[in-house]
Amino acid sequence: MPTFEYVLILLSAVFIANLISRLLPALSVSVILIILGACISFLPLGITVELEPGLFFVLFIAPLIFNAGMLLDMKVFWALKGPILNMAFLLVIVSIIAIAGFLHILAPDLPLVAAFALIAALGPTDDVAIISVSERVPIPAKLMNLIKGESIINDASGIVSFQLAMLAAVSGVFSPLYAAERLLIAGIGGISAGLVFIYLKFLLVKWIRRLGMENVTLHILLELLTPFMVYMIAETVGVSGVLAVFAAGAAHSFRRKKLNPETATLHVASKSIWSVLSFTLEGVVYLILGIQLPRILRTIGGSSDSTNILELILYVIALTMAFAVMRFVWFYLTTRAKTCADDEAPVNKARNAMIFALAGARGAVTMASVLSIPVILSSGEIFPQRDLLILLATGIILCSLLISNYLLPLVVGRPEESSKTETENQACIEILNNVISDLAPSITKENRIAAGIVLHQYRSRIKALQDKIGGNKFDKHKEQQLRRQCWEWEQQHTITLLENNEDYQSIAPHYLEVLNKTSTNGLRKPSLLQTIKRFAMHLHQSSRKGIHLRRGSTNKMHNSFIKLREENVLFILQQLKLLQEHDNSKEVRKIHQEYEIFYSFMQSRNAMTDRQHATDHQDGILLETAASAFQIERDNIQIMFETGRISREKAKELRNNIALLETELS
Q: Which residue has the higher pLDDT, 27 or 143?
A: 143
Shortest CA distance to 37 belongs to which of 380, 471, 367? 367
- Residue 597: CB partners within 8 Å, gap ≥ 6? 456, 459, 460, 463
Percentage of residues in the chain having pLDDT higher than 70: 74
Q: 424 or 331: whose pLDDT is higher?
A: 331
Last residue of a domain, one of 377, 393, 412: 412
For residue 381, give the DSSP letter: P
Gap between the Cα atoms of 518 and 536, Å rounded:
13
Beta bridge partners of 382: 376
Task: Reply yes or no on whether the pLDDT at 290 is more than 60.
Answer: yes
Three-state SS for 535-574 is HHHHHHHHHHCCCCCCCCHHHHHHHHHHHHHHHHHHHHHH
The total domain count for the chain is: 2
In a shared domain, residues 48 and 169: yes
User: How far apart (Å, rounded) are the C-alpha atoms in residues 393 and 371?
Assistant: 10
Residues spanned by the domain of 266: 3-412
Considering only residues 385 and 447, tell me which one the structure prediction assigns the higher pLDDT: 385
Report in angstroms the alpha-carbon separations of 186 from 56, 77, 155, 285.
Answer: 20, 23, 16, 26
The answer for residues whose C-beta is within 8 angstroms of residue 352's C-beta and 6 or more apart is 140, 143, 331, 335, 337, 340, 341
Q: What is the pLDDT of residue 118?
A: 92
What is the reported pLDDT for 363?
Answer: 82
Q: Clarify whether residues 221 and 370 are in a common domain.
A: yes
* The pLDDT value given to residue 318: 94
pLDDT digits (tens, 9 = 90+) for 562-587: 778 788 888 888 888 888 777 777 77
**Backbone phi and psi for residue 490, each to the nearest 5 degrees, phi listed first:** -65, -40
- The model's confidence at residue 553, banded by pLDDT at 50, 70 and 90, is low
Instruction: Calculate the dihedral angle through the C-alpha atoms of 65, 66, 70, 73, rounding to the nearest 10 degrees.
Output: 30
Residue range 135-163: mean pLDDT, rounded: 82
Residue 317 — pLDDT band, cuts 50, 70, 90? very high
Cα 74 to Cα 2, 70, 80, 147, 340, distances in angstroms: 45, 10, 10, 14, 18
Is 56 a residue whose pLDDT tops 60? yes
Distance CA 271, CA 442 (A): 11
| Contacts for 261 with CB less than 8 Å, ≥ 6 apart | 443, 444, 445
Average pLDDT in the 51-58 region? 72
Q: Are residues 448 and 397 in the same domain?
A: no
Residue 386 has pLDDT above 90, yes or no: no
Please report, for residues 292, 348, 486, 494, the alpha-carbon distance to residue 501 in angstroms, rounded to integers and kept in the order given. 71, 54, 21, 10
Cα torsion 140, 143, 148, 150 to 10°: value is -170
Band (257; pLDDT cuts 50, 70, 90): low
In this predicted structure, what is the pLDDT of residue 367?
83
Least confident piece of the model among 45-49, 438-442, 447-451, 637-641: 45-49
Q: What is the pLDDT of residue 161?
A: 86
**Whether residues 357 and 432 fall in one domain:** no
The continuous run of DSSP H or E covering 607 comes out as: none
Residue 486 sits in the same domain as residue 450: yes
Residues 389 and 463 in one domain: no
In the prediction, which pLDDT does 518 show? Answer: 58
User: For the residues 390-403, what does the mean pLDDT come to?
Assistant: 89
Q: Specify whether 178 is located in the same domain as 48.
A: yes
Alpha helices in 122-140 (DSSP H): 127-134
Asked whether the beta carbons of 263 and 215 are under 8 A apart, the reply is no
Q: Coil, helix or strand for 523?
A: strand
Please say if the pLDDT value at position 533 is more than 80: no
- For range 170-179, the mean pLDDT: 67
Mean per-residue pLDDT for 290-302? Answer: 75
Average pLDDT over residues 459-476: 68
The sign of the torsion formed by the CA atoms of 584, 585, 586, 589 equals negative
Query: How many Cβ atoms are within 10 Å of 663's Cβ, its own excluded?
Result: 8
On whether both 115 and 251 belong to a single domain, the answer is yes
Same domain, 400 and 429: no
Question: pLDDT tier at 16 (50, 70, 90 boundaries)?
Answer: very high
pLDDT greater than 70 at residue 612: no
| Most confidently predicted of 94-103, 379-388, 513-522, 530-539 | 94-103
With contact defined as beta carbons under 8 Å apart, do 53 and 119 qualify? no
Q: Return all residues near 435 (Cβ < 8 A) that are at least 6 apart.
A: 458, 629, 632, 633, 636
Could you say which of 391, 412, 433 is where a domain stops?
412
Of the ranges 105-119, 146-160, 306-320, 534-548, which one carries the lowest mean pLDDT score?
A: 534-548
| Structure confidence at residue 582 (pLDDT) | 75
Q: Is the pLDDT of residue 232 over 50?
A: yes
Q: How far apart are CA 473 and CA 485, in angstroms?
A: 20
Same domain flag for 196 and 239: yes
Contact of 383 with 374, CB cutoff 8 Å: yes
- For the cut 50, the answer to whether the pLDDT of residue 534 exceeds it is no
Last residue of one domain, picked from the residues 412, 442, 475: 412
> Which domain CATH number covers 84?
1.20.1530.20
Could you tell me which residues are beta bridge partners of residue 523?
520
Give percent above pLDDT 90 in the chain: 10
- Quick one: average pLDDT of 613-625? 64
Give, as one character, the DSSP assignment of residue 504: G
Q: 608 and 485 in one domain?
A: yes
Read off the DSSP letter of residue 474.
-
- The whole-number average pLDDT for the span 411-435 is 72
Mean pLDDT of 547-565: 61
| Top-confidence range, 85-89, 494-498, 653-657 | 85-89
Q: What is the pLDDT of residue 521?
A: 42
Q: How many residues does the chain have?
A: 666
Q: What is the mean pLDDT of the chain?
A: 77
Residues 503 and 632 occupy one common structural domain:
yes
- Average pLDDT of 440-467? 75
Q: Which of 176-185, 258-267, 368-377 has maximum average pLDDT?
A: 368-377
